[in-house]
Amino acid sequence: IHGFPWQVPARTRNRNIIKDLKMQPKKQLRVHASPDLGKLLTTWEVRSERDDWIRGLQSQLPQQLWTHRNTLTNYQVWVAYRMAAQQLNLHYEGERPTDGCLLAQDVTAGKVTITHITWGCERAQQFWSRCVEHWLGHEISSSRLEACKSYISSRVAPPVSDRMRRVLLECYGKWNKDYEDALGRIWWSLCSMGYALLWQIRNQVVHEGKKWRAPQQLEYMWASCLRQISAVARSGRNKPATRTNGLRLQLTLDCYVAITIEAEPPDSPPAPAPWLKRKESALIKRLRKFQEAIN
């Protein structure tokens, strides 16, 4: 405070002096941050070009990454943002290059990255497969799961399947955009909670030495997500202003969970997410604008 060069232009009005003085430290910090932002932008661009998963995470704006929609915990929001910003610490005491994936005990995994933990690991693939199977209503192959990768990384719901529409129509007698929005909220919640659970379980294995069997981990993650979404729906039903939305969320969740998983049909997988057509991810674009503004 005492060493900072507090000053404002001579033409500043008296009523604006305090406001301008408060802005001085912020402007100074922006100037000092500018060189590092250039390096960060370069790193993000290189990683997103060679990794579609990171590109999907960064397809969301900061306000989208920080939103909780009265559904997520602060920790789950924090993990989603840190994943997109590539700021999760993967290092640990006693780390060796030959460790591989300690969770799946796969020494051939090579260097473990955020992408491997939340997508490439076979444990993560099992969880995402279950989410997609209940969304589509049938079993999926690895190629079909790969086609849904862009929807999982961006937390944007794939097109609602005809089978899901029929199930909701048979159960509740109608289908409209409100049910589609509820399904989109369920998908967004499952992806967000899945990120946090995969990161949490990885830390338990690495730092606490905990052992997870594949079926045990899958059922734990699935039950945890459904329990949290059900709690959100119940909370909504208990408030007069959100009673209808809470009930609709619970009804939609019940259909999503109870849908019968059939054999995989020969039809084509869903089209890639729209954000793949963009030349630059939303988060990188926003950071570039911020860099230009402070220079």
Residue 134 lies in a domain: yes
Q: Identify the domain containing residue 170 by its residue range.
A: 71-275
3-state helix, strand, coil in the chain (%, to 5): 65, 0, 30
Q: How far apart are CA 96 and CA 94, in angstroms?
A: 6
Residue 291 lies in a domain: no
Q: How far apart are CA 129 and CA 127, in angstroms?
A: 5
pLDDT beneath 70: ranges in the chain = 1-6, 29, 32-34, 98, 107-110, 295
Residue 157 is predicted with a pLDDT of 95
Residue 234 is predicted with a pLDDT of 97
Residue 22 lies in a domain: no
Residue 68 is predicted with a pLDDT of 95
Residue 53 lies in a domain: no
Mean pLDDT of the residues in the chain: 89
Residue 199 lies in a domain: yes
Residue 184 lies in a domain: yes
Residue 89 lies in a domain: yes
For residue 83, the one-letter residue type is M
Residue 107 is predicted with a pLDDT of 67
Residue 58 lies in a domain: no
Residue 1 is predicted with a pLDDT of 46
Number of domains in the chain: 1
